[in-house]
Structure 1
Amino acid sequence: MIDKMMRPMALVIGVILASLGAQAKGRLVQTPVSGYPAGSIVVFEKEKALYFVMGESSIRYPVATGKEGQRWTGYARVQSKHWKPAWAPPAVVRRDNPDIPDYIASGDPRNPMGLAALVLDRDQFAIHGTTQAGRSSIGTAASYGCVRMLNEDIADLYARTSVGALVVMLRR
């Protein structure tokens, strides 16, 4: 039953990735941490890598993490999933960027959420895609605490992740 449900989702994700003209950068690796259940997301802040745990193996994706003073560590859960989300900048972002609009619509090329967002149950943080201009930030400390991914990678992770999934942010 689950296979029948996942095949159409895999096809949709494949079509989306093909339309983006890019392949997901995630690659299958041995799980570098133990003790987290399959379906968990573990982010190594210093490594700038996100791991989607599948048991003995994981998929590793390159990411951008929080800049100095905006980093967090600990645990969260995926509270909600949003495809092509709109975005209302938090107060700290508006303070640092006074010209930013109060609301950026879904699909707007300036929308920093990119293709999808996994909203966490802590402090307005999310795991999300990026703009075309933001692609170069991947592998750096560039965000206000969110985990930023390439759009092709967030599309892949979005399809694999369930609401309620454990998210762990580690300094290493």
Structure 2
Amino acid sequence: MFAFKSLRAAALFGAALIGFSMPNAAGAYTRVVAFRSSYGAGTVVISMSQRKLFYVLDDGRAIEYPVAVAKPGKEWLGSARIAGKYSHPDWSPPAVVKHDHPNLPNFIPGGSARNPMGVAAMTLDRDQIAIHGTTRHMRASIGTRASYGCIRMLNEDVADLYDRVGVGTPVVMRP
């Protein structure tokens, strides 16, 4: 018989055994899935083709999150690291976004319903690329190719991931 120190530990164990969803700290449902790879625990792996982000656990498991990935022509592949973590970040559109959407304001404060970064952002050590939340009207983009290179998550999912990672966490983008 197993003794668990917390209800969360017991739920994670159960989810790992049978692969179902469970509520996370943000109230969303976290899906623990089988994930065999050579990446170490704590690595963030993004599958562009699956439109999924995996936070690698140990023993061949990962937490799976649905995401929006880059539009064709804006994608990137390879390795990066989390360079910064920001709660309710301000946002200024990069030049390429401003060029395509000239009516966007030059600055949107954090916490604004119009801020496309959502409740949290983790910047990568790549030029103007982040893993971030989304606005309410952009939730439908999750599962599509919609961004300018960033990885877009549901706000409840980005809040959960934000609590799991630190600056320096490895991030891998796969085709």
TM-score in terms of structure 2 length: 0.84
How far is 1:121 from its partner? Answer: 0.2
Q: Which has the larger radius of gyration?
A: 2
Deviations 1:95-135 (A, max 9, x none): 00001011100111010000000100002100000000010
Of 76, 95, 99, the match for 1:95: 99
**Partners of 1:25 and 1:62 within 8 A in 2:** no
Q: The residue matched to 2:140 in structure 1 has which SS?
A: helix
Aligned to 2:141: 137
Taking the aligned partners of 1:26 and 1:49, their CA distance within structure 2 comes to 13
Whether 2:114 is the aligned partner of 1:110: answer yes
CA contact (8 A) 1:39 1:54 kept: yes
Partner residue, 1:9: none
In 2, the alpha carbon distance for the partners of 1:169 and 1:26 equals 21
Q: Which runs of 5+ in 1 are unaligned?
A: 4-12, 18-22
Verify the 8 A CA contact 1:25 1:61 in the aligned structure 2: no
TM superposition outliers: structure 1 runs of 4+ over 2 Å: 23-26
AA paired with 2:63? I
CA shift, 1:26, in A, is: 3.0
Quote the residue 1:167 is aligned against: 171
Which residue of structure 2 lines up, in the alignment, with residue 60 of structure 1? 64
Alignment partner of 1:35 is 2:38: yes
Greater RCO (CA < 8 Å, at least 6 residues apart): 1
Identity of paired residues, percent?
51
Matched, 1:119 2:123: yes
Separation in 1, partners of 2:29, 2:70: 20
1:10 match: none
TM-score (norm 1): 0.85
RMSD, matched Cα: 1.4
**Residues in 2 aligned to 1:117 and 1:42: alpha-carbon distance in whole angstroms:** 16
CA distance in 1, matches of 2:163, 2:54: 14
Return the alpha-carbon distance in structure 2 between the equivalents of residues 89 and 26 of structure 1.
30
Equivalent-residue separation in structure 2 for 1:53 and 1:156 (angstroms): 14
Could you report, residue by residue, the CA deviation over 1:3-40 in whole angstroms, capped at 9, with x for unpaired residues?
9xxxxxxxxx83xx3xxxxx3243001114x1111111
CA contact (8 A) 1:31 1:58 kept: yes
In structure 2, the residue matched to 1:6 is none
The answer (yes or no) to whether the contact 1:67–1:141 under 8 Å persists in 2 is yes
**Contact in 2 for aligned 1:26/1:62 (Cα 8 Å):** no
C-alpha contact (below 8 Å) 1:39/1:165 kept by paired residues: yes
Identify the match of residue 147 of structure 1 among 124, 148, 151.
151
Count of matched residue positions in the alignment of Structure 1 and Structure 2:
152
Find the residue that maps to 1:63 and give its secondary structure: strand
